[in-house]
């Protein structure tokens, strides 16, 4: 079986959720079966250190290898998925296409497996541009109708697909993403001090990690933070998304200037130290298809406060403090408990370390290969 994989997200320079998912899962699929016949397609060359590939260039490959992994760079500035990838698939005729991030080409010439990460646009439409919302609705409806198999990051996302789109449960497989196993607790005082200096952190701090956008509930988080602002700082780490609230202005209005730090995008090399130095991760998101920052914090031995909605209780298990994300007072009370109670922080950190071990890219790859094999049978 010759498998094509849309690796376009894995080639992006600043990986966030879906990009990191593509990067890690493709590498895990390769580790599981390095001799399988797989071609990776992307609009830009993949990083040299991504995988040991037989080929990674833009030259035409009229007869794709039937054994081993290779990459094809097929550039096009617009509509890459629907035009350039589609053309390459028609020429190369793989047996199956895997799309790790949501979009199957129009009139796809081969059977496809696609990961649907979440249906947040259904629950919080105002957090998406109108055109993006329409596109997500259209593509998800197409995928439910046309994909050979759908992968969901959580049981919550699988339930959403069945509820909102009448997806056949037999065609939707829950495959939990793994954790980055290079991400672990940093204990070196010099490394912790360096990251604090880099981001201007002067006191003990609570950390939010993720894109700054309305669905992440950051306006309520900053408002709730006032309850503990005299004891800790709040670090909001992540790149700005669409309709990002003016959190700096809000902090100023609430008298929290200097207590709320907008750290911007955090590169992978800083993430473990920034997490490890925090008193806790605070992640009161309104909706998540999985919630990777929760697992990342747990992997670093950091206690977690998160929301009692969508996939987050499923992912956090009994290893997090769960709150109502629509209640500012509940978020404030949760943060106050974590700041004041060292015993609670220790208990959550210990349970979180065990919970994080449930999520493995090797296991995710094994399950995805199982899906591919079932379609080849």
C-beta separation of 94 from 39 below 8 A? yes
Interacting residues of 276 by C-beta distance below 8 A, sequence separation 6+: 185, 186, 187, 192, 300, 301, 302
pLDDT by residue, tens only, the chain of 377 residues: 999 999 988 877 666 778 889 999 999 999 999 999 999 999 888 877 787 765 544 444 334 455 688 888 887 766 888 889 999 999 999 999 999 987 899 989 999 999 999 999 999 888 788 898 999 999 999 999 999 999 999 999 999 999 999 999 999 999 999 999 889 999 999 999 999 999 999 999 999 999 998 889 999 999 999 999 999 999 999 988 776 768 888 999 999 989 999 999 999 899 999 999 999 999 999 999 999 999 999 999 999 999 999 999 999 999 999 999 999 999 999 999 999 999 999 999 999 999 999 999 999 999 999 999 999 87
**CA atoms of 230 and 268, how far apart (whole Å):** 30
Going from the N-terminus, what domains does the chain have, and what CATH number goes with each?
2-178+360-376 (3.40.50.2000), 189-356 (3.40.50.2000)
C-beta separation of 183 from 299 below 8 A? yes
Q: Which residue has the tokens 């990838």?
A: 85
**CA atoms of 26 and 299, how far apart (whole Å):** 21
145 strand-pairing partners? none
For residue 239, report the phi and psi dihedrals to the nearest 5 degrees: -80, 155
94's tokens = 């793989």
Write the DSSP symbol of residue 240.
Answer: B
Q: State which H helix or E strand residue 97 sits in.
A: strand 96-99
9's tokens = 């997200």
The sign one gets for the Cα dihedral 244, 250, 251, 252 is positive
C-beta separation of 37 from 68 below 8 A? yes
State the CB neighbour count (10 A cutoff) for residue 339.
18
The sign one gets for the Cα dihedral 19, 25, 29, 31 is positive
85's tokens = 């990838």
Nearest to 226 by CA among 85, 92, 339: 339
Q: Which residues of 28-67 are buried (b: 16+ CB within 10 A; e: fewer)?
A: bbbebeeebbbbbbbbeebeeebbebeebeeeebeebeee
pTM over the 0.85 mark? yes
């Amino acid at each position: 079986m010759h498998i094509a994989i849309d690796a376009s997200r894995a080639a992006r320079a600043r990986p966030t959720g879906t990009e990191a998912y593509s990067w890690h899962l493709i590498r895990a699929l390769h580790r599981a079966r390095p001799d399988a016949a797989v071609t990776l397609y992307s609009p830009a060359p993949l990083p040299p250190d991504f995988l040991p590939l037989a080929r990674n260039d833009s030259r035409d490959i009229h007869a794709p290898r039937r054994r081993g992994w290779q990459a094809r760079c097929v550039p096009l500035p617009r509509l890459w998925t629907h035009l350039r990838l589609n053309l390459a698939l028609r020429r190369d005729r793989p047996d199956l296409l895997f799309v790790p991030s949501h979009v199957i080409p129009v009139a796809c010439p081969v059977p496809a497996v696609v990961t649907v990460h979440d249906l947040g646009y259904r629950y919080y439409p105002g957090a998406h541009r109108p055109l993006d919302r329409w596109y997500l609705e259209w593509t998800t409806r197409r995928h439910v109708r046309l994909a050979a198999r759908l992968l969901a990051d959580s049981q919550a996302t699988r339930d959403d697909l069945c509820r909102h789109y009448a997806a056949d449960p037999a065609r939707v497989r829950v495959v939990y993403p793994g954790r980055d196993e290079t991400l672990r607790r940093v204990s070196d005082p010099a490394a912790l001090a360096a990251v604090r200096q880099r981001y201007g952190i002067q006191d003990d701090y609570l950390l939010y990690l993720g894109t700054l956008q309305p669905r992440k509930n950051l306006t309520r988080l900053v408002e709730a933070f006032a309850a503990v602002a005299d004891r800790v700082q709040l670090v909001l780490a992540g790149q700005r998304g669409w309709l990002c609230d003016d959190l700096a202005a809000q902090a100023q209005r609430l008298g929290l200037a200097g207590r709320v730090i907008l750290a911007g995008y955090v590169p992978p090399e800083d993430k473990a130290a920034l997490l490890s130095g925090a008193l806790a991760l605070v992640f009161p998101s309104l909706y998540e298809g999985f919630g990777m920052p929760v697992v990342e914090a747990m992997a670093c031995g950091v206690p977690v406060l998160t929301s009692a909605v969508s996939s987050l209780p499923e992912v956090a298990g009994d290893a997090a403090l769960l709150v109502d994300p629509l209640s500012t007072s509940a978020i404030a009370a949760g943060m106050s408990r974590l700041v004041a109670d060292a015993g609670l922080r220790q208990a959550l950190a210990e349970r979180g370390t065990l919970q994080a071990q449930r999520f493995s890219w090797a296991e995710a790859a094994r399950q995805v290969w199982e899906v591919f094999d079932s379609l080849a049978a």
